Amino acid sequence: MKSHKYHRKWNGSVRFAAALAATLAFSFGSLSPVLADATTGPVAKQIESRVYVSEDVMLPMRDGVKLHAQVWRPADQMAELPIIMMRSPYGFSKERITVALKADGSYGYLAEDGYIFVFQDIRGRFSSEGDYVTLRPKKTTTDGIDESTDTYDSIDWLVKNLAKNNGKAAVTGVSYGGWTAAMATIDPHPALKAISSQASPEDMFIGDDFAHNGAFRLDYAWSWVSALESDGKTMKPFQFESEDAYDWYLNQTDLATLDQQHLGRKVPSWQNFVEHKNYDDYWKRSRPSHMMPAKVAVPNLIVAGWYDQEDFYGPLEIYKNQEKGDDNGLNYLVVGPWNHGGWRGEGASYGPFELGSETGTYFRSKVELPWFQYWLKGEGALEQPEALIFQTGSNQWQSLETWPAKSQAGVRNLYLRAGGRLSFEPPQAGEAPVASFVSDPANPVPYRQRADIKPFMTKGSTWSTWLADDQSSFASRNDVLFWESDPLPADVTISGDVAAKLFASTTGSDADWVVKLLDVYPTDESSPAELSGRQRMIANDVFRGRFYKSYENPEPLIPGAVLGYDIDLHYASHVFKKGHRIAVQVQSSWFPLISRNPQSWVPNILQAKAADYQVQTHSIYHSPEKASAISVRIAENEE
């Protein structure tokens, strides 16, 4: 336990209007320019905004390159103020910054409190000089540069040259901005007193934007790369010929040359995806927690969202790795009921699920604002709990001394049983030992209803809320297996790690395994009409079978061989209410969220040809000897 941290519990009780989708209306996804997009705040906050004025500056770096930044300060500034810097490749529109700094804006609480805000274009983007490199790795020579050196040099210039600054600085940001905030700690400037790394990616091959367990995230990767690397200085979403993203991607027969076919040239990041098909140094070198100092020296408020389909893995992994060296109690975690950057809006609902309070407003006013007041102004007491976790299902905030809260939870297995039963009791002898389904790459399982699958950057896309989609329609497909518990006689609370152990075989030489843990709502009057019978996704992920032994050195699967797959479904904190059921779905495609697996062996799936895609039969085993299950941590229910 970190002795100086104060632990408390806050239970939300206020309803809110759903503004989350509007908050990220112009979002470019996981490495998205959230600040520029998130402009809504609590409707009830009708106070006069503090006026901010801006100036453009060019900051010299150690290698002679100059980086562009906007400096915004209160027009009525009298006293010296600290600096809060955000660094991004997406550009900062002055119009959107103006709105974000208003009293009811996404950074309104900080703006009203008074800070000098610095918004900087990273190297090679917009008005900054130099060459752009996606997730630029740590320098390898003493005279080299990286995002850490650029941050150091920027802070050094700012504290020495900006009038009326108090000599203290912080770096924050969401997504790519969260990653640059984490990178600022590698060799921190003495004036850097705190950061808040929000929704930062950690590992693009294992669990964040571009791949999960080696399974390529097709729609996101193509949309992001084609927008960011279109000309180097703008963000121009790719113009699809059709709004039906499922159909468009299904008709792309040569993914390796997608950039040349549709953009007329090779795009650096896309070609990196093609070249680095396995888990090599290209992927490993950009993991921030592997570059950050082993001993935490800069206070970090790490923020994640349960419904962040781009970067949920990253913040939790950074927290876990940094916690190993947090001798001085500087590493903190907040996990809320948000999609990517949703805490910058009201955060009162997610899809049809009311959250019981304005969770985003609460975070910005009661967590983020006191954090920067304490570290940059020396105001107030740091009453931040070690881990502030929002428990879904009960809609309660929990203040915990550790995450996961191991002392409160015991590991239990939810076993997949014959006849589609899900039970805490293991399979018995004599039960049917296997369930099978036919997987056809020509008809992959969509990740949501076809009518809702638009390219995620297009106008009208509801990408930001797809994790709230009802999963019940997929349970009736012949290529999706479904297991369901009896109605629960009492609440069941899970808190912490969630993982799948699948014993599976295929008639092919490769296969994807998609696993979803679901909360099934009753169909009686206990459920609101819009939630009646709904299958709510609580945890999920995909595993590409060829990596069952090694991410670095994949192997073909042996047809018919039963293999054990350990699939990390990450974390959850959720209450399955009395009368609800717990359910599990298993399938082999999730399109076009995940690229299709040919199901026959090819060295590089992005280079697969039409003939490589073959129909195969997949089987999941649930015998006493091969007991497929989902492991969860069962926590005591809190009153």
What percentage of the chain carries pLDDT values higher than 90? Answer: 87
CATH (residue range 407-635): 2.60.120.260
> Dihedral, CA atoms, 596, 601, 606, 608, nearest 10 degrees?
-90
Separation of alpha carbons 215 and 205, rounded Å: 8
pLDDT digits (tens, 9 = 90+) for 327-386: 999 999 999 999 999 999 999 999 999 999 999 999 999 999 999 999 999 999 999 999
Can you give 571-636 as a three-state secondary structure string? EEEEEECCCCEEEEEEECCCECCCCCCCCCCCCCHHHCCHHHCCCEEEEEEECCCCECEEEEEEEC
Residue showing tokens 């962040």: 308
**Is it the case that residue 24 has pLDDT exceeding 60?**
no
Q: Where are the alpha helices (DSSP H) in 504-550?
A: none
**Is it the case that residue 99 has pLDDT exceeding 80?**
yes
What percentage of the chain carries pLDDT values higher than 70? Answer: 91
pLDDT digits (tens, 9 = 90+) for 463-487: 999 999 999 999 999 999 999 999 9
**Is it the case that residue 46 has pLDDT exceeding 90?**
no
pLDDT digits (tens, 9 = 90+) for 138-184: 999 999 999 999 999 999 999 999 999 999 999 999 999 999 999 99
CATH (residue range 20-202+287-400): 3.40.50.1820
Nearest to 179 by CA among 191, 187, 190, 171: 171
pLDDT digits (tens, 9 = 90+) for 576-615: 999 999 999 999 999 999 999 999 999 999 999 999 999 9
Q: What is the pTM of this model?
A: 0.93
pLDDT average, residue stretch 499-517? 98
First to last CA, the chain: 24
Nearest to 288 by CA among 96, 147, 386: 147
pLDDT average, residue stretch 191-211? 98
Strand, coil or helix: 109 = helix
Residue showing tokens 């990767």: 221
Which has the minimum average pLDDT: 169-178, 290-299, 405-414? 405-414
The domain locations on the chain are 20-202+287-400, 407-635
pLDDT at residue number 47: 55
